[in-house]
């Protein structure tokens, strides 16, 4: 009997609505498989909490989360709280403090009707973006000089450490090797003359340990174009924090939008909890209406199961998502369906 | 009689092939309009020059170029010369030294068959990206510490000055105002907690001078997605150097690829020459075969005419591009046609 301790942070806007459906799926797994159980603890952190307490999470929040196997996060951000606070003090803080240095985001077309691209089908769009998730452009380093004066100048410094760069690139090579896929590195050495020159060097260096992995290297601008015109080129992609952020949104665009985009923030050594989240935001404009699409949140549960080495469940969830996407009455309005958030979750559980 | 002095830098790979066709167009204008004349001087700078002389341009290259009204550049970069040298010492150097702080890149669908997007037509894809072109992420500032040691760390610093940020944003507001279009700023303050917070502040501040301009503000990841799923949202877009680089390649992707992407590097005050270039690279794989698509290079001529305040010629060229795109026998293989580079240029001149 395996028990997994899961910390729920439903967060803001549609976060709680979609997480509720993901939890239903987890409870169904528990019911169907007597070898697995979950215990859930909910944390009320987010923008509402901020407005009441002046902080995004409890002072000892990180300490409290430490003992969990996984964090399941809904969405963060709400009008009235600056993004620089809400995101940096909760989402980015957890990624950083728990050294979740790997962000795995599948770019997989689950149903041909979902892509806005002509002539592309499931076989053309099926790859994995591995995004550096702990440093780089997101390091938060910088300076703001001569504020309010004509000579005002603002500096933002990306920090690329040997350790941080090497470990993400090695993780990607391992992933490509074990699944026998090609590996594409995305960088921008022709303009970012320190960080990306270093990135390219490390990519080549670590590559020597993986002669069996076929590699490519693209500039981020070219890669952005190829994601749209030739997604079939990619199998595993490794890139920096900021480039991963941008590229995975293009990935979402070509596979049906943010309602279908999931991300796993991993600490592969399991020294700290990993975090699973739909990539979409809190969507204040539609929150409370019961029409948010919970599929990304459910897909996060699939990623969580993979991480728990319960891959058979990961697969069952993914194939059930494919099935439900063919049922117009079971999907939400953003996908052209008529179902509510809850309706989708209930039907999903039925199918499981 | 107006005479314009044009410095030609055909550059590497397919650069000379496409520039030759652009020059044909310029000479045709001269023939058809007795009020305009051009004088051309060719500079042999680029990677071949580098291999022979150890530098990308003459020592006094910048001095030599100063007296021209415009620089017409083909493409830079070739295997054997690191991109960090070839691009930074020629293309980026000219942009910087001549304070070409505005990079104008149209994202305009010229023919519905060219977009890879379902359900989008010319009326959905017609906007202008105004990219900061002199500083920001491309400042080239940084450091490389503890090289070769485990504690190695590489820093890349984006530099956003008050002057640099304000002038590009003001240019964009002016453009939106005079053409009565909306203005969208693209930034990323939720992660880049110095530079992009500053960017957003300046965007708002300068906006107070333009109450008539309707504005939007998007995160770069969201904007990348919308470029693909909802390009009709955009009219004028203003963004930083790096984000502009990425976004305009997505723009190229949705309008038919790099063979149709042009960019004007402007010094609006005309204190220094401006530079006009197809955005594509030197494409060593197809160079010398006479199959390179010269349309982007010809479109650059249209932008050059606009900048010379000969807008009627700018328009004629653009509408002739639209015409030629409907003639399968007149376009190059990358667009599904059968013409050579030269054949396209000749037919273009005929149509003019
Ligand atoms: C909300 C934001 C800080 C975050 C990021 O930029 O990483 C989001 O866009 C993402 O992709 O997870
Ligand atoms: C070649 C490269 C340095 C350049 C850039 O990044 O600006 C190019 O991609 C462009 O968009 O003009």
For A112-146, write each residue's pLDDT tens digit.
Answer: 999 999 999 999 999 999 999 999 999 999 999 99
Instruction: Give yes or no: residues A159 and A246 share one domain.
Output: yes
Residue A110 lies in a domain: no
Question: How close does chain A come to B323, measured CA to CA in Å?
Answer: 24
Question: How close does chain A come to B91, measured CA to CA in Å?
Answer: 11
pLDDT above 90 for B88: no
pLDDT above 90 for B22: yes
Domain ranges, residue A35: 1-104+257-352
pLDDT tens-digit readout, A13-65: 999 999 999 999 999 999 999 999 999 999 999 999 999 999 999 999 999 99
pLDDT at site A19? 98
pLDDT tens-digit readout, B185-219: 999 998 999 999 999 999 999 999 999 999 999 99
The count of CB pairs under 8 A between chains A and B is 200
Protein residue with least CA distance to atom 7, ligand 2: B245
**Could you tell me the CATH number of the domain that includes residue A93?**
3.40.718.10
Instruction: Give yes or no: residues A134 and A203 share one domain.
Output: yes
Provide the number of structural domains found in chain A: 2
pLDDT at site A191? 92
**Could you tell me the CATH number of the domain that includes residue B178?**
3.40.50
C-alpha to C-alpha distances, B283 to A232, B139, B210, nearest whole angstrom:
21, 26, 42
Contact yes or no for B157 and A162 at CB 8 A: no
Average pLDDT in the B135-155 region?
A: 97
CA–CA gap between residue B287 and residue B242 (Å, rounded): 28
CA–CA gap between residue B178 and residue B180 (Å, rounded): 6
Instruction: Give yes or no: residues A251 and A120 share one domain.
Output: yes
Instruction: Give yes or no: residues B47 and B94 share one domain.
Output: yes
Instruction: Give yes or no: residues A312 and A297 share one domain.
Output: yes
For residue A262, the cross-strand partners are A278
Outline where B180-284 has alpha helix (H): 195-207, 220-229, 241-255
Mutate to test the pocket of ligand 2, among B87, B134, B252, B277 (most ligand atoms within 8 A of CB): B87
C-alpha to C-alpha distances, A206 to A28, A101, A167, A173, nearest whole angstrom:
42, 17, 9, 8
Average pLDDT in the B285-307 region?
A: 97
Measured between beta carbons, the chain B residues lying within 8 angstroms of A202 are: none
Is A324 in contact with A283 (CB distance < 8 Å)?
no
Residue B28 lies in a domain: yes
Average pLDDT in the A73-102 region?
A: 93
Nearest to B83 among A92, A189, A221 (CB): A189
pLDDT tens-digit readout, B220-258: 999 999 999 999 999 999 999 999 999 999 999 999 999
Residue A196 lies in a domain: yes
Residue B235 lies in a domain: yes
Binding site membership of A225 for ligand 2 (Cβ less than 6 Å): no
Residue B320 lies in a domain: yes
Phi/psi at A143 (5° precision): -155, 155
pLDDT at site A1? 86
Residue A111 lies in a domain: no
Classify residue B216 by burial, with Cβ atoms within 10 Å: 0-12, 13-18, 19+.
middle
Give me chain A's average pLDDT, please: 96
> What SS3 class is residue A229?
helix
Q: Which of residues 37-66 of A touch B (CB under 8 A)?
A: none
Question: How close does chain B come to A6, measured CA to CA in Å?
Answer: 27
pLDDT above 90 for A88: no
Instruction: Give yes or no: residues B82 and B126 share one domain.
Output: no
CA–CA gap between residue A131 and residue A135 (Å, rounded): 11
Instruction: Give yes or no: residues B248 and B312 share one domain.
Output: no
Structure tokens at A218: 């693209």
Helix (H) or strand (E) holding A269: none
Instruction: Give yes or no: residues A1 and A92 share one domain.
Output: yes
Percentage of residues of chain A with pLDDT beyond 90:
97
- Which letter, b or e, does each residue of B121-159 get, where b requires 16 or more Cβ atoms within 10 Å of its Cβ? eeebbbbbbbbbbbbbbbbbbbebeeeeeeebbbbbbbb
pLDDT above 90 for B28: yes
Dihedral of alpha carbons B135, B203, A156, B263, sign = negative
Residue B142 lies in a domain: no
C-alpha to C-alpha distances, B191 to A93, A258, B127, B197, nearest whole angstrom:
11, 19, 27, 9
pLDDT at site B235? 98
pLDDT at site B38? 97
Residue A152: CB atoms within 10 A of its CB come to 18
For residue B275, the cross-strand partners are B71, B265
Of A255, A276, A291, the one marking the end of a domain is A255
Percentage of residues of chain A with pLDDT beyond 70:
100
Of A255, A270, A297, the one marking the end of a domain is A255
Instruction: Give yes or no: residues A234 and A319 share one domain.
Output: no
Instruction: Give yes or no: residues B251 and B268 share one domain.
Output: no
Instruction: Give yes or no: residues B102 and B177 share one domain.
Output: no
Residue B137 lies in a domain: no
Of A237, A255, A273, the one marking the end of a domain is A255
Average pLDDT in the B339-347 region?
A: 97
* Predicted confidence band of residue B1 (pLDDT cuts 50, 70, 90): confident
Average pLDDT in the A332-352 region?
A: 96
Instruction: Give yes or no: residues B233 and B122 share one domain.
Output: yes
């Amino acid at each position: 009997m395996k028990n997994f301790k899961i910390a729920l942070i439903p967060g803001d806007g549609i976060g709680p609505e979609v997480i509720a459906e993901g939890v239903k799926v987890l409870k169904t797994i528990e019911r169907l498989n007597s070898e697995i159980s979950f215990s859930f603890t909910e944390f009320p952190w987010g923008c509402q909490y901020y407005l009441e307490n002046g902080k995004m999470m409890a002072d000892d929040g990180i300490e409290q989360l430490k003992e969990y196997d996984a964090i399941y996060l809904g969405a963060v951000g709400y009008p009235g709280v600056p993004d620089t606070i809400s995101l940096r003090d909760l989402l980015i803080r957890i990624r950083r403090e728990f050294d979740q240095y790997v962000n795995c985001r599948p770019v997989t077309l689950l149903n041909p009707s979902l892509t806005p691209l002509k002539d592309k089908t499931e076989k053309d769009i099926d790859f994995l973006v591995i995004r550096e998730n702990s440093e780089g452009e997101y390091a938060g380093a910088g300076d703001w000089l001569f504020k309010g004066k004509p000579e005002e100048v603002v500096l933002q410094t990306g920090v690329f450490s040997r350790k941080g760069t090497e470990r993400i690139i090695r993780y990607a090579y391992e992933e490509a090797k074990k699944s026998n896929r090609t590996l594409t590195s995305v960088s921008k050495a022709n303009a970012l003359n320190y960080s990306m020159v270093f990135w390219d060097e490390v990519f080549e260096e670590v590559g020597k340990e993986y002669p069996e992995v076929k590699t490519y290297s693209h500039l981020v601008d070219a890669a952005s174009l190829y994601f749209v015109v030739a997604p079939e080129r990619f199998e595993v992609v490794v890139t920096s924090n900021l480039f991963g952020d941008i590229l995975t949104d293009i990935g979402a665009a070509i596979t049906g939008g943010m309602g279908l985009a999931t991300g796993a923030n991993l600490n592969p050594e399991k020294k700290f909890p990993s975090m699973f989240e739909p990539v979409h935001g809190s969507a204040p404009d539609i929150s409370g209406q019961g029409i948010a699409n919970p599929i990304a949140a459910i897909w996060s549960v699939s990623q969580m199961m993979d991480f728990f080495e319960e891959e058979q469940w990961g697969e069952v969830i993914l194939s059930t998502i494919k099935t439900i996407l063919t049922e117009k009455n079971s999907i939400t309005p953003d996908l052209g369906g008529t179902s509510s958030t809850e309706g989708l979750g209930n039907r999903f559980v039925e199918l499981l």
